Structure 1
Amino acid sequence: MQTKPERGINIGVFWPAIAVAGGFVMWGVLGPDSLAVVARATLNWIIRVFGWSFVISTAFFLAFSLFLAFSRFGRIKLGHDDEQPEFSTRSWVCMMFSVGMGIGLMFWGVAEPISHYANPPHGLAAPQTKEAALVAMQYAYFHWALHPWAIYAMAGLAMAYFSYRRDLPTLVSSVFHPLLGDRIHGPVGRMIDVLAIIATLFGTATSLGLGAQQINSGMNYLWQTGESPAIALAIIAVLSVLFILSAVSGVGKGIQFLSNMNMVIAVVLLLFLALLGPTVFILDTLIESLGYYFSDLISMSFRTSAFSDSKWLASWTIFYWAWWISWAPFVGVFIARISRGRTIREFVVGVLLIPSAVTFVWFTVMGGSALFSEISGPGGLVGAIAEKGEAVSLFAMLEQYPMAGLTSVVAMFLVAIFFVSGADAASVVMGMLSCYGTTHPRAGIVVLWGVLAGASASVLLVMGGLDGLQTASIIAAAPFLVVMVGLCASLWKGLLDDIEVHGHFEEIDPHTGGLKERSR
């Protein structure tokens, strides 16, 4: 195995990634118009030529993760046979959920169902009808539940397996050891880790940009501060300082505390909306929407632009799949880090099903309340989004409830904490990837990546607002999608090597998760 200085910088990964990130920021500062033109042309080419690959790959990740969980491989432990999980199940789930998509749920919880209600996907219903409302919930579930968490599950499972069972560094390149051997320590392995850092950087920047836009909208709603790129940039600067301070405090102190806190506050907000809102309508919506979601899951999973609305598909489904893929190295490394000692089955069930169940409830309460307002209540949310953008949707809905000022402040606080916890973990992971996979990268390296994430988010906001954020996610995710497919192939080979060794099969001990040899 490659020797390395403890917590030292891997110059073959760090400097190329810094060059790409720094070059992007400088280009955005010196020539934002030319950057926007090049980015848009690149995006159009990726969607036209490779849009289908995002669709088929994401469906495959879901099928493969479920297969591994419920096959004989499911009892293999992600670690040595006597290891126990470091974090409680409650903290484990909270950290996964908060880091995986916290800001996104706050931003899109109301905005996505209302957007689909006004403009139903693929013309599946007439706009602003009850049928459109049902389709809207169905597609909100589709974009936020099983499929994105399957992407995270595959990345995290592979890294946890090779890091904690094979004792390889916690790097994306380590996953490729069954295919590349010791070449993971050479140029090919370094290129994989550079791609992982760049994908993480721009995926994080997208989320930071969304969070800043939403906080700006909330401030304007409460205090008439106005909405402008300058205010959003100031918000990014302030919160970047906070998440950098949190990041250097370590996983156990910073992220765990923030994740537990914001999940409690989020549950309180949901209960407030569910109990004071249309409770029966919300329950009916959950049951009926889940039925349609699961009945159409296969057809939705394989819908491409061949016979569907390609513009809608690119703006929504492909953007989401790309966004999740760009977050996969970051979330994968992070959930691998907090999942040591769990079995493959426990890992996949926890990562795939528990956050998905929370997502169903989240969108049903948020989106269901908003749709009820449009169908039977005061309405106005469709118009608010059309006039002021998606970021204002949550605050426009809260205005229809008691204590709107207080709940809006709580919502902004939640966005800020999700912002901090997500960027906190991303900075630590980028530090790990550029420092040989050490679980405790130098504080200076973590700070540098945090600054670059904030700077990249600022450039994207200036470059094109929400469109700029979406463009960056898809472009950054395209090369890493190839890495994700290779990751699955390498994990499969590694698991087979564990089961079949030198003409014998190895039987999995159901008590320890370890392997014991037996004859064929």
Structure 2
Amino acid sequence: MAPKPPLMDLPIKTAESGFYRGFTKDVTITAKILVGALIIWAVAFPDAAASVLGGINGFILGTFNYWYVYAMAFFVILCLGLALWPASGRLKLGMPDDQPEFSNFSWFSMMFGAGIGIGMLTFATAEPMYHWASNPATIMGDTTGSSADNVRDAYIWSFTHWGLAAWASYAIVGLSLGYFSYRRGLPLTIRSGLTPLFGKALSGPLGHVVDVVAVVATVLGVSQTLGFGVEQFISGLYRIGFGEWLYTTDAAGEQSSSTMAIIVALIVIMGASTLSALSGVGKGIKWLSNINMGLSFFILVFFIIFGSTFFGLTALFVGIWDYLLSIPGNILTVWAADGTEQGDALAGWQGGWTIFYWAWWIAFAPFVGVFLARISRGRTVREYVLGALIIPAVMCFVWFALVGGTAIDLELNGDANGAITGAGQSDQLFAMLAVILEPTLAWIMSVIVVILLLTYLVTSADSAVLIINTINAAGDEGPKARPHILFWGAALAFVVGGLIIAGGLGAIQTAMVIGALPFSVVMVLMGFALIKGIWLDGKREAAGVQTTVDEAALPAE
């Protein structure tokens, strides 16, 4: 008996008139209520919000740590399996005659900018430095923190967090949407990726829940990214001479960003991003992306010329080798608190770093996944998976090796004399520039970094607003009603500001880990739906059953 044709029609009701014209009201209004409630709670009751979120976060880290680790391992294995499996690898994300819209260089550039951006400027220095001081090897006594024998372990974990696992989580969402939207004509929204499992039921409340979860996860994931960026932006403004008002010092002598600094930074960032979002992808976002690429390349060349190039290149090649050898063990290892000093320390380290990253990438996946699907039409599954996993990961490794390697080398040889180690996470890049360069040149480079950081922040925020509206509009990129763009721009600003004021970056991290959990379930189901969909399509092709929608039925470009 021949298998049935696949589902090629998933009607999603949208409003035909009024304020929500073109939008799915059940998704849009529910998401706005949830995000608005979080903002009001965090601003009106910061202590209670921080306490409750912290308690939930502790429960998740202690109960669902296995889930996060094994879910990410599943994404990596599935992506590589689909690329290597001949029956799936040759399939196109689109019609058989579709060709890629973008050149390979443009495609790689856009993937890197969408998935990395802000994180490179903060973590390319901070993460190798942190792991150089402390990582599982130092906790277990195998290496000594902040010494030459710990450099290789520092890069194993830096590459683990920013390597294949991160990009596999993005790739799963993008592959699922690209496959079911461009081959079957389904809406470019998250629920379409689950159609092999739930069918037409996704037209109703079940599908609405999936899209709401995706919107909330996106808001929290992007807020986490913006939170790190805001803190580094404030550090940069302080370095280039904007004044002492940017920081406050508490009774214990701890320095933190002032409320006024956070407000000013968010007004600048979100104001610019909202204007960019209103101008659309073809104007503001494209213009900013071009600036990002140019300045990023300039900074990377600067470190190749003035940084510890030999040390960095050694860290790069040795680190990639060590990382590849470590994958089978690290990707499946879960450390649970067992009441011993070492066991509890390992569990705490994994919760603060690996689980945090896995949640961050999952929360960021709806945003990056929709974007990857939009730019990958016409590519084969194999081409898409290998391109989306390997090239961006290698670019991350280059940044971490050259920028972070320079920082480690400066501390190892005594030139920095603790100036980089003693700086806060958001300030370490600027501290390193102050060590490498004389004051005037350090100031000029700091200005360039601040400009690049601002353009990355604006690009991430305005792209997120447009993707959120795409999901809310049942996959239609058309509706760009100004009030909805303004709402989500303001919502991102208030989530970031409210949670930072409520409990610093830790509060955003906590909320994100919580928000990522339900979407991680959606992503795992998307993985199984992909397997089922591709497997059944193979059987359909063998039986002569149509597997792609009639091109005449597709919406016009």
Q: TM-score, normalised by structure 2?
A: 0.88
Residue range with higher mean Cα deviation, 129-138 or 187-196: 129-138
Structure 2 regions of 5+ residues with no counterpart?
Answer: 1-9, 248-257, 337-342, 552-557
8 Å Cα contact 2:173/2:365 also seen in 1: yes
Structure 2 SS opposite 1:85: coil
Mapped to 2, the partners of 1:102 and 1:505 lie a distance apart of 45
Give the CA deviation at 1:261.
2.3
**Structure 2 counterparts to residues 106-145 of structure 1, below 5 A:** 106-122=121-137, 123=139, 124-145=142-163
Mapped to 2, the partners of 1:152 and 1:461 lie a distance apart of 26
**Structure 2 counterparts to residues 214-293 of structure 1, below 5 A:** 214-223=232-241, 225-226=243-244, 227=247, 228-293=258-323
8 Å Cα contact 1:156/1:336 also seen in 2: yes
Give the CA deviation at 1:336.
0.7
Mapped to 1, the partners of 2:14 and 2:43 lie a distance apart of 36
Structure 1 SS opposite 2:473: coil
Q: Deviations over 1:321-373 (max 9, x none)?
A: 00000001111111111111211112112211110111110100111101101
Give the CA deviation at 1:385.
5.0
Mapped to 1, the partners of 2:107 and 2:287 lie a distance apart of 12
Q: How many residue pairs are counted as aligned between the two chains?
A: 508
| Aligned amino acid, residue 303 of structure 1 | T
The yes-or-no answer on 1:98 pairing with 2:113 is: yes
2:254 alignment partner in structure 1: none
C-alpha RMSD over aligned residues: 2.0
Give the CA deviation at 1:449.
1.4
Mapped to 1, the partners of 2:358 and 2:479 lie a distance apart of 29
Q: Deviations over 1:71-119 (max 9, x none)?
A: 1211111112222222332222222211212111111111111111122
The yes-or-no answer on 1:61 pairing with 2:79 is: no
Mapped to 1, the partners of 2:14 and 2:461 lie a distance apart of 27
Mapped to 1, the partners of 2:463 and 2:96 lie a distance apart of 28
Specify which of 430, 440, 446 is matched with residue 395 of structure 1. Answer: 430
2:496 alignment partner in structure 1: 457
> Measured at CA, do residues 27 and 236 of structure 1 come closer, stay the same or move farther in structure 2, by a change above 3 Å?
same
Mapped to 1, the partners of 2:193 and 2:210 lie a distance apart of 10
The yes-or-no answer on 1:311 pairing with 2:325 is: no
2:381 alignment partner in structure 1: 344
Mapped to 1, the partners of 2:417 and 2:348 lie a distance apart of 26
The yes-or-no answer on 1:438 pairing with 2:489 is: no
2:443 alignment partner in structure 1: 405
Q: Deviations over 1:444-484 (max 9, x none)?
A: 22232121111111112112222112112211101111111
Give the CA deviation at 1:41.
0.3
2:222 alignment partner in structure 1: 204
8 Å Cα contact 2:216/2:515 also seen in 1: yes
After TM superposition, the runs of 4+ consecutive aligned structure 1 residues lying more than 3 A away are 3-7, 383-386, 505-508
2:554 alignment partner in structure 1: none
Give the CA deviation at 1:384.
4.8
The yes-or-no answer on 1:12 pairing with 2:26 is: yes
2:405 alignment partner in structure 1: 368
Mapped to 2, the partners of 1:448 and 1:380 lie a distance apart of 47
Residue range with higher mean Cα deviation, 469-478 or 10-19: 469-478
Mapped to 2, the partners of 1:95 and 1:454 lie a distance apart of 24
Mapped to 2, the partners of 1:192 and 1:491 lie a distance apart of 16
Mapped to 2, the partners of 1:487 and 1:199 lie a distance apart of 16
2:518 alignment partner in structure 1: 479
> Measured at CA, do residues 455 and 380 of structure 1 come closer, stay the same or move farther in structure 2, by a change above 3 Å?
farther
Structure 2 SS opposite 1:501: helix
Mapped to 1, the partners of 2:145 and 2:546 lie a distance apart of 56
Identical amino acids, percent of aligned pairs: 37
Mapped to 1, the partners of 2:534 and 2:432 lie a distance apart of 49
Specify which of 54, 61, 67 is matched with residue 47 of structure 1. Answer: 61
8 Å Cα contact 1:13/1:193 also seen in 2: yes
Mapped to 2, the partners of 1:230 and 1:32 lie a distance apart of 17
Give the CA deviation at 1:152.
0.3
> Measured at CA, do residues 250 and 92 of structure 1 come closer, stay the same or move farther in structure 2, by a change above 3 Å?
farther
Mapped to 2, the partners of 1:271 and 1:305 lie a distance apart of 39
8 Å Cα contact 1:176/1:487 also seen in 2: yes
8 Å Cα contact 1:138/1:292 also seen in 2: yes
Give the CA deviation at 1:507.
12
Q: Deviations over 1:97-152 (max 9, x none)?
A: 11212111111111111111122335242111112222112211111121100100
Specify which of 504, 525, 528 is matched with residue 489 of structure 1. Answer: 528
**Structure 2 counterparts to residues 29-40 of structure 1, below 5 A:** 29-40=43-54
Mapped to 2, the partners of 1:102 and 1:503 lie a distance apart of 44
The yes-or-no answer on 1:427 pairing with 2:465 is: yes
Mapped to 1, the partners of 2:462 and 2:162 lie a distance apart of 22
**Structure 2 counterparts to residues 324-335 of structure 1, below 5 A:** 324-335=361-372
Give the CA deviation at 1:443.
3.3
Mapped to 1, the partners of 2:433 and 2:368 lie a distance apart of 31
Q: TM-score, normalised by structure 1?
A: 0.94
Mapped to 1, the partners of 2:192 and 2:275 lie a distance apart of 29
Structure 1 regions of 5+ residues with no counterpart?
Answer: 509-513, 515-520
Structure 2 SS opposite 1:334: helix
Residue range with higher mean Cα deviation, 443-452 or 497-506: 497-506
> Measured at CA, do residues 93 and 446 of structure 1 come closer, stay the same or move farther in structure 2, by a change above 3 Å?
farther
| Aligned amino acid, residue 417 of structure 1 | T
8 Å Cα contact 2:411/2:421 also seen in 1: no
| Aligned amino acid, residue 240 of structure 2 | L
Mapped to 1, the partners of 2:103 and 2:209 lie a distance apart of 35
The yes-or-no answer on 1:358 pairing with 2:372 is: no
